[in-house]
Amino acid sequence: MANKKVLIVLSDADYVPIQRNGKTEHDPSGFFLIELAKPLQKLLEQGFEVTFASPEGKEPKPDPSSETLLAFAGNFYEKKRENELIERMKRENGLARPRKFSEISDDELKGLSGVFLPGGHAPLADLGDNAELGRILRHFHAEHKPTAAICHGPYAFLSTMYAGDKDFAYKGYKISCWSDAEEKMMETSKQGEFEKVESSLRDAGADMQNGIGEKVGYITVDREVASGGNPMAANALGDKFIEMLLAT
C-alpha cells in the first residue's frame, strides 16, 4: 500500500427533507454517531490518516437519534467513548472544519487510498446530486480503490450521475443500504415520507441486496465497494474496509 490516507465524506445538513401533507419539511438529522465512530476508530488504530470532507466545509452535526442511550443499546460507556472520539477529531483532525469537496484536487485524490461514507439521514439532503462528490467518487471507482458506505451513505453514489459522463458509476454493483422496509418504519414514527435509498439506487441500476430478516449487521462486498445495511453493520464494515485497504 502506497500510503495510509483515507477520505471520510460527510453531509453539511443538520436536517432531512420529509414530505408531510403535501409539503416538504425538515426534520433534525446529521451523521449517525456509531456509523462514523466505529469504522473511524478502527482506521485510527491501524495508523490511517483521515481527511474529513463535505460539500461546503460546515461542521457536521450528529443525528439526535444517534446520540440517545437507546442507540447504544443502553451501553453508557460505549456512548461516552464514541462521543469523546468525535470531540477529539474536532480538536485534532479537522472534523470541525471539513475540507470542501471543491478544494480536493484530482492530484490530491491520487494520494488517497480509500473513501468512507457513513450514514444518518443527512446524505439525502445534499450528497446525492453533488457534482463535486461525483467527481471524487468517480476517481475511487476508476482506480478500484476501497470504498465503504453504510446505511444512508450509499445514497451518495448517485452523485456520480452528475459528473463525468453522467452515467451511474456503480451500475450492476451489489449494494446494501438502509432498506425501504426499514425506512417505512421510520416514516410511520415520523408521520411523513422520506426519499428511499434502496429504491433510488435500484432505479439507477444497482443490484440491491437488502431485506428485513437478513443477518443483523450484514455487509455486502462487490469489487472495490463494501456496504452495510444499518448501524448494526458498523463493526463488520469497518473490519472489511481495513482488510481491503491493507490488501491494496
Please report where in the chains the cell 422520506 appears, as a residue: 194
pLDDT of residue 215: 61
State the pLDDT at residue 51. Answer: 97
Domain with residue 78: its CATH number is: 3.40.50.880
Range of the domain at 119: 5-247
CB 220 within 8 A of CB 179: no
Single out the residue of 179, 229, 169 nearest to residue 205, CA to CA: 169
Helix axes 33-45, 234-247, angle to 10 degrees: 30
Cβ proximity of 223 and 173 under 8 Å: yes
Q: Is 104 helix (H, G, I), strand (E, B) or coil?
A: coil
* Across 149-171, average pLDDT: 95
pLDDT in tens, 6-65: 999 999 999 998 899 889 989 999 999 999 999 999 999 999 999 999 999 999 999 998
51 φ, ψ (degrees, to nearest 5): -120, 125
**228: closest CA among 158, 169, 147?**
147
In degrees and rounded to multiples of 5, residue 63 shows phi and psi of -65, 125
pLDDT score for 77:
81
Tell me which residue of 193, 201, 38 sits closest to 210, measured CA to CA: 201
Question: What is the number of domains present in the chain?
Answer: 1
Cα→Cα distances 238→11, 61, 98, 230, Å: 19, 21, 21, 13
